[in-house]
Amino acid sequence: MSHQSGTQLNQHYIDGEWTDGDGSDTFASESPATGETLAEFTRGTEADVDAALAAADEATEEWRELSYIDRAEYLWEIYHELRDRHQELGEVVSKECGKEISEGKADVTEAWHMVEWAAGNARHPHGDVVPSEVGDKDAYMRRKPRGVVGCITPWNFPVAIPFWHMAIALVEGNTVVWKPAEQTPWCGQIIAEMFDDAGIPDGVFNMVQGFGDAGAAITDDERVDTVLFTGSAEVGQEIASKVGGEPGKLAACEMGGKNGIIITEEADLDIAVHSAIMSSFKTTGQRCVSSERLIVHTDVYDEFKERYVEIAEDVAVGDPLEESTFMGPAIEPEHVEKIRKHNELAEQEGANVLVDRFELGEDEIPDGHEDGNWVGPFVYEIEYDTDLRCLKEECFGPHVALLEYEGDIEDAVEIHNDTPYGLAGAVISEDYRQINYFRDHAEIGLAYANLPCIGAEVHLPFGGVKKSGNGYPSAREAIEAVTERTAWTMNNSKDIQMAQGLSADITMQDD
């Protein structure tokens, strides 16, 4: 088994074996905070994906024959490993994706919560007993696994999101081929070690390291029955249209957001400022639920702006492993460029820039971290206009627009809904009517009141509407995506009786 940082090459995990597979190419995991190489990995090719899918396909028959409870036993082993290796894996998350350490550890905690949910759910009822129109019939719904599930995950929750997908797919009786994000292969390596240590039967769990081409080889293969994808809208839409067009195949995709917080004239401004700062800058704005739009009533605009800007000017950017850090670096140099372009776009569209810490001062960058992908908050005010691209396109960074509105909650919600996305949002108000109006009219899957619009609990649905996805790859909803339902009706009498009064008489030609 290989499980190393440093120079040793880490492998794929296919059919219960660690393997270089095709082995024709390698890639590195690089620290976003220092630029140093953390570990080397073999890069997956179509041939590696083919081997993984063959193993997963072969393993489905025996795996689905096990009881839910026996399948869940393997997940309980992993639950204990996640807890035992909490500190170690949390630090790897921080090192590999640059999230500050409390977020790195929270990623691992969320993963074991999801494993707990999925494995615990194995002892809960699965399916429904339903009444029949005919007295002598039993009618009920049973679930069956779909078969092979392809899981494709993003870098920003490199431990939690894979378990949102895989824990449920596996307990429900599917086998899995997983491709971790290319930026966080070390987390992928440790998760695969956990499955290996748990003794999961060969072929049931397979991991292929690599890039988008390996991901596409999974989604395009006819042996895959369900694709679970979390990532950008561009890739998700491509997968949804490709896979959705194939009969018998299903894609559940969770994508990005252009999330907003409404701060009404009835807001408690302490809560408003605190919630907005967390939603804007936690994870350096690189959460799917990060807020890039703050929609603030004119009566409280000036006071809110002053207090928010004062914190944004000074919020601690630094080494993700230091507990005093609030924001770590951006994930990779290409992403720093993407954030730069979004900031420039806002300026071209007429932004009045209030905070520009995009290029941090030398004294703000921690010693020894000069080669990190550093960016700081960029905050601007702009007059709302439906044609502004900077208010519609996801930046996925600490890039925030302040929008002043007049009028009622209805006006604020109209601005809030004016994006192609529909993932998360929050309202800050002490007036329950305003809160309830937001709850009923905001076009989003995750709505918060008097809270940041970040944060998830695994037993709640997680997912968006519009361009943000179809709200499937989480908890209960994911079960729909990885199982097929069979409606069973069973006759308890000797006669055949039909619903809707349909005649069961067979009449003959001579009658």
Identity of the residue, 16 or 212, whose beta carbon is nearer to ligand NAD in the bound complex: 212
The whole-angstrom separation of Cα 400 and Cα 381 is: 8
Cα 422-428-433 angle, rounded to 5 deg: 90
Interface residue with ligand NAD among 90, 104, 154, 185 (CB under 6 A) is 154
Q: Judged by CB under 6 A, which stretch of 14-22, 48-56, 176-184, 346-354 contacts ligand NAD?
A: 176-184
| Cα diameter, the chain | 101
Restricted to residues 264-303, the positions that interact with ligand NAD (CB under 6 A) are 288
Kindly state whether residue 231 participates in binding ligand NAD, applying the rule CB under 6 A.
yes
The answer to whether residue 390 is catalytic is no
317: which DSSP letter? B
Kindly state whether residue 237 participates in binding ligand NAD, applying the rule CB under 6 A.
no
The answer to whether residue 288 is catalytic is yes
Kindly state whether residue 115 participates in binding ligand NAD, applying the rule CB under 6 A.
no
Interface residue with ligand NAD among 40, 110, 182, 443 (CB under 6 A) is 182
In the complex, the smallest distance separating the C-beta of residue 289 from ligand NAD, rounded to whole angstroms, is 8
Interface residue with ligand NAD among 13, 74, 117, 157 (CB under 6 A) is 157
Contact 225, 147 (CB under 8 A): yes
Q: How many CB atoms lie within 10 A of CB 295?
A: 24
Identity of the residue, 219 or 264, whose beta carbon is nearer to ligand NAD in the bound complex: 219
Residue 492 backbone dihedrals phi, psi, to 5 degrees? -105, 0
Residue from 144, 150, 124 nearest 61 by CA: 144
Q: Considering the candidates 97, 151, 187, 288, report the single residue annotated as catalytic.
A: 288
Identity of the residue, 218 or 300, whose beta carbon is nearer to ligand NAD in the bound complex: 218
Cβ-based neighbours of 352, under 8 Å, separated by 6 or more: 380, 381, 382
CA atoms 349, 383, 420, 448: torsion sign: positive
Q: Considering the candidates 40, 81, 110, 254, report the single residue annotated as catalytic.
A: 254
Kindly state whether residue 255 participates in binding ligand NAD, applying the rule CB under 6 A.
yes
Give the contact letters, 333-352, x = binds to ligand NAD (CB under 6 A), - = no.
--------------------
The whole-angstrom separation of Cα 319 and Cα 99 is: 9
In the complex, the smallest distance separating the C-beta of residue 279 from ligand NAD, rounded to whole angstroms, is 13
Q: Judged by CB under 6 A, which stretch of 107-115, 169-177, 225-233, 367-375 contacts ligand NAD?
A: 225-233
- If DSSP codes are grouped into helix, strand and coil, which group holds residue 41? strand
Kindly state whether residue 235 participates in binding ligand NAD, applying the rule CB under 6 A.
yes
Task: List, in sequence order, the alpha helices (H) in 245-289.
Answer: 269-281
Which single residue brings its beta carbon nearest to ligand NAD? 215
Identity of the residue, 143 or 466, whose beta carbon is nearer to ligand NAD in the bound complex: 466
User: 């491509």: which residue's tokens?
Assistant: 238
Kindly state whether residue 179 participates in binding ligand NAD, applying the rule CB under 6 A.
yes
The whole-angstrom separation of Cα 125 and Cα 10 is: 40
In the complex, the smallest distance separating the C-beta of residue 450 from ligand NAD, rounded to whole angstroms, is 23
Contact 474, 164 (CB under 8 A): yes
The whole-angstrom separation of Cα 53 and Cα 223 is: 7
In the complex, the smallest distance separating the C-beta of residue 24 from ligand NAD, rounded to whole angstroms, is 18
In the complex, the smallest distance separating the C-beta of residue 388 from ligand NAD, rounded to whole angstroms, is 20
Restricted to residues 365-404, the positions that interact with ligand NAD (CB under 6 A) are 394, 396
User: 């894609």: which residue's tokens?
Assistant: 251
Q: Judged by CB under 6 A, which stretch of 55-63, 207-215, 292-300, 481-489 contacts ligand NAD?
A: 207-215
Give the contact letters, 84-113, x = binds to ligand NAD (CB under 6 A), - = no.
------------------------------
The whole-angstrom separation of Cα 418 and Cα 466 is: 11
Contact 431, 373 (CB under 8 A): no
Interface residue with ligand NAD among 173, 215, 376, 397 (CB under 6 A) is 215
The whole-angstrom separation of Cα 234 and Cα 393 is: 12
The whole-angstrom separation of Cα 53 and Cα 304 is: 54
Interface residue with ligand NAD among 5, 132, 232, 237 (CB under 6 A) is 232
The whole-angstrom separation of Cα 193 and Cα 386 is: 49
Q: Judged by CB under 6 A, which stretch of 170-178, 252-260, 263-271, 484-492 contacts ligand NAD?
A: 252-260
Q: Which helix (H) or strand (E) holds 336?
A: helix 333-348
CA atoms 329, 332, 336, 341: torsion sign: negative
Q: How far is CA 7 from each of CA 29, 189, 193, rounded to the nearest angstrom?
A: 11, 14, 18
In the complex, the smallest distance separating the C-beta of residue 468 from ligand NAD, rounded to whole angstroms, is 6
Q: Judged by CB under 6 A, which stretch of 188-196, 208-216, 397-405, 479-487 contacts ligand NAD?
A: 208-216
Active site residues per annotation = 254, 288
Residues in touch with ligand NAD (CB under 6 A): 152-157, 179, 181-182, 211-212, 215-216, 219, 230-232, 235, 238-239, 254-257, 288, 394, 396, 423, 464, 469
